[in-house]
């Protein structure tokens, strides 16, 4: 949400159109799908969680590598906001991957009816 709330609050404070600094993409759709599947358990939930987490981790680590390996990373307010968002997303997906990879056999059915 930092990806949306901060840019909208900033735009509001400076009298700009609300979506001036919002970086639009389709990742929220994939994240909502995973959240929905985790709440409404399906036969493919564990595999979706593992695959989506692994893909997200690879993408974010690659983005971090390219950003941090540049001679002078651009630490603007927007790039810092992006970096904080990616740290949060990376942390979430490391936890999801760890949970499903290490405990998949004990959580293959929903624990809440």
Separation of alpha carbons 16 and 30, rounded Å: 29
| Residue keyed to tokens 């059915």 | 109
Separation of alpha carbons 51 and 39, rounded Å: 17
Residue spans per domain, the chain: 26-106
User: With 60 as the cut, is the pLDDT of residue 106 above it?
Assistant: yes
CA angle 104, 106, 40 (to 5 degrees): 75
Note the pLDDT tens digit of each residue in 8-41. Answer: 999 999 999 999 988 888 888 999 999 999 999 8
Mean pLDDT, residues 88-103: 93
Distance between first and last Cα of the chain: 29
């Amino acid at each position: 949400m930092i990806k949306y709330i901060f840019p909208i609050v900033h735009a509001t404070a400076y009298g700009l159109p609300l979506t001036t600094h919002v970086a639009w993409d389709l990742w929220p759709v994939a994240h909502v799908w995973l959240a929905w599947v985790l709440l409404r358990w399906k036969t493919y939930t564990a595999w979706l969680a593992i695959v989506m987490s692994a893909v997200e981790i690879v993408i974010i680590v690659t983005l971090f590598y390219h950003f941090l390996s540049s001679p002078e990373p651009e630490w603007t307010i927007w790039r810092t906001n992006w970096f904080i968002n990616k740290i949060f997303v990376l942390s979430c997906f490391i936890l999801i991957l760890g949970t499903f990879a290490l405990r998949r056999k004990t959580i293959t059915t929903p624990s809440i009816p």
